[in-house]
């Protein structure tokens, strides 16, 4: 049997690294359903979980997969599922349930080209808006975009930590290329891995209000059997967790669900800047597209263009403030992503009239080459 944390250097693919990150973060329950190109996450979890005292179950569809992990989360477990576009679509209703019941969970989407069955074995980054808005109603979630197998490991841990801290679904928005590429992944010693667990309630059980927030906007979360007799519903509810069909309760609940994320963006949002200091043209990218963008920025610099790269590690909540600030001093943004324009619209929204914006994207199935990015930078300058 292998230990919980596989400390050492490994040559593994992104999907396997994601599974190892989950185990290292303390995940003990995975409900899944096979789908290319995310299946390897489930396979690795199936192999590993029984050895660390956890549970793997392959459910009958992706709807069952996500609802099973939500149930498991209320026993106190850290939980995850992994899928790709079609399964992600099926999960959307219960993503909303996770949001309003404030159930911590990590959902991995190893993106492939869509819509529908699309190109099952070929990558894309076209579910980014679905991650943000796929369930009905107003809400906030967190989504992160790993650019390498190493980040599949690191960001999966981060995703669990944020999910536990803010009691919100966190998406790992990977893609087929990052999921299937094998690279060196360094797994630190268990004691060097920072993990966060949800705050459990203390005090009188009869006076406990499950949705009364602490200072950071998040409420402590009991487990089934702790004796708090909580009621958890997808209906609009008050602080006691009881359904109340009123405009005011709806306003209070939604405002709090948005505020607990929006008021903590400094803690949540992670980006990486490359040659941004004197940059006039900024490439905005994430995931696998950011990897090719580094080469493009270097090449542009050699041509005498002051290019830089803003890599989004957290994609949702969107780093509005960073784009707004950059827009005041740069000429333009070039957004690079494997879709026909999703995050590019967010960049446009934040840049407003202060900087030019354009997209380097395509309909999916392959990566974006540095040449395509360089050409667009040259045009934009």
Contact residues for another protein, defined by CB under 8 A: 1, 28-29, 31, 50-51, 53, 55, 57, 59-61, 63-65, 67-77, 79, 93-94, 96-97, 222, 224-235, 242-243
Q: Which is nearer to another protein, 24 or 65 (CB)?
A: 65
Query: In which residue are the tokens 């995050």 written?
Result: 343
Spatial contact of 20 and 193, defined as CB atoms under 8 Å apart: no
Q: Which two tokens stand for residue 64?
A: 């069952």
Total number of residues shown for the chain? 381
First to last CA, the chain: 57
| Cβ atoms of residues 23 and 189 within 8 Å | no
CA pair distance 124, 85, nearest whole angstrom: 10
Could you give the C-alpha distances from 139 to 50, 102, 136, 243, in angstroms and in order? 35, 11, 9, 18
3-state secondary structure of 288: helix
The Cα–Cα gap between 33 and 193 comes to 29
For the bound state, the minimum distance from the C-beta of residue 53 to another protein, rounded and expressed in Å, comes to 7
Query: Beta partners for 13?
Result: 182
What is the spatial distance between Cα 70 and Cα 50, in angstroms, rounded to a whole number? 19
**Between 245 and 353, whose beta carbon lies closer to another protein?**
245
CB nearer another protein, residue 94 or residue 264:
94
Q: Give me the least distance between CB of 379 and another protein, in Å please.
A: 48
DSSP line for 141-195: -EEE---SHHHHHHHHHHHHHHHHHHTSEEEEEEEHHHHH-EEEEEE--GGG---
Residue 328, phi-psi category: left (phi > 0), alpha (psi -120 to 50), beta (remainder): alpha
To another protein, the closest distance from the beta carbon of 63 in angstroms equals 6
Distance CA 269, CA 325 (A): 15
For the CB of residue 44, give the shortest distance to another protein in the complex, in Å. 15
Contacts of 267 (CB under 8 A, 6+ apart): none
Q: Which of the 8 DSSP states describes residue 116?
A: T
Instruction: Write down the least CB distance from residue 48 to another protein, Å.
Output: 10
Residue 218 beta carbon to another protein: minimum distance, rounded to whole angstroms? 20
Instruction: Name which of 223 and 258 has its Cβ closer to another protein.
Output: 223
Question: C-beta of 66: minimal distance to another protein in Å?
Answer: 8
Give the nearest distance from C-beta 324 to another protein in angstroms.
37
For the CA atoms of 236, 239, 244, 248, what is the dihedral angle to 10 degrees?
Answer: -80
Q: Which is nearer to another protein, 86 or 364 (CB)?
A: 86
Helix or strand run (H / E) with residue 12: strand 8-13
In this complex, which beta carbon is closest to another protein, that of residue 226 or of residue 320? 226
Q: In the complex, what is the shortest distance from the CB of residue 35 to another protein, in angstroms, rounded to a whole number?
A: 17
CB of 239 to another protein, least distance (A): 13
């Amino acid at each position: 049997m292998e230990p919980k944390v596989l400390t050492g250097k490994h040559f593994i693919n992104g999907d396997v690294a994601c599974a190892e990150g989950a185990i290292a973060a303390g995940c003990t329950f995975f409900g899944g359903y096979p789908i290319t190109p995310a299946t390897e996450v489930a396979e690795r979890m199936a192999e590993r979980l029984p050895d660390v005292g956890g549970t793997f179950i392959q459910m009958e569809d992706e709807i069952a997969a996500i609802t099973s992990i939500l149930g498991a989360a209320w026993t106190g477990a850290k939980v995850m599922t992994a899928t790709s576009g079609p399964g992600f679509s099926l999960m959307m209703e219960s993503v909303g349930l996770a949001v309003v019941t404030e159930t911590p969970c990590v959902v991995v989407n190893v993106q492939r080209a869509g819509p529908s069955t699309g190109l099952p074995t070929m990558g894309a980054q076209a579910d980014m808006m679905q991650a943000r808005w796929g369930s009905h109603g107003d809400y906030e979630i967190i989504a992160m975009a790993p650019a390498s197998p190493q980040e599949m490991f690191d960001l999966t841990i981060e995703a669990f930590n944020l999910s536990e801290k803010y009691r919100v679904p966190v998406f790992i928005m990977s893609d087929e290329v990052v999921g299937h590429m094998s690279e060196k992944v360094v797994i630190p010693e268990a004691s060097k891995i920072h993990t966060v667990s949800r705050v459990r309630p203390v005090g009188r059980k009869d006076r406990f209000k499950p949705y009364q927030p602490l200072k950071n906007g998040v409420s402590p979360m009991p487990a089934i059997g702790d004796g708090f007799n909580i009621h958890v519903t997808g209906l609009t509810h008050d602080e006691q967790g009881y359904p109340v069909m009123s405009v005011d309760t709806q306003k209070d609940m939604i405002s709090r669900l948005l505020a607990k994320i929006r008021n903590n963006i400094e803690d949540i949002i992670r980006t990486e800047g490359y040659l941004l200091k004197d940059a006039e043209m900024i490439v905005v990218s994430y995931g696998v597209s950011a990897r090719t963008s580094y080469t493009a920025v270097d090449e542009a610099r050699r041509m005498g263009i002051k290019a830089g790269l803003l890599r989004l590690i957290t994609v949702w909540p969107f780093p509005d403030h960073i784009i707004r600030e950059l827009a005041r001093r740069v000429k333009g943004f070039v957004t690079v992503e494997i879709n026909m324009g999703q995050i590019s619209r967010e960049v446009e929204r934040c840049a407003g009239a202060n900087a030019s914006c354009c997209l380097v994207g395509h309909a999916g199935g392959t990566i974006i080459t540095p040449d395509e990015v360089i050409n667009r930078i040259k045009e934009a300058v």
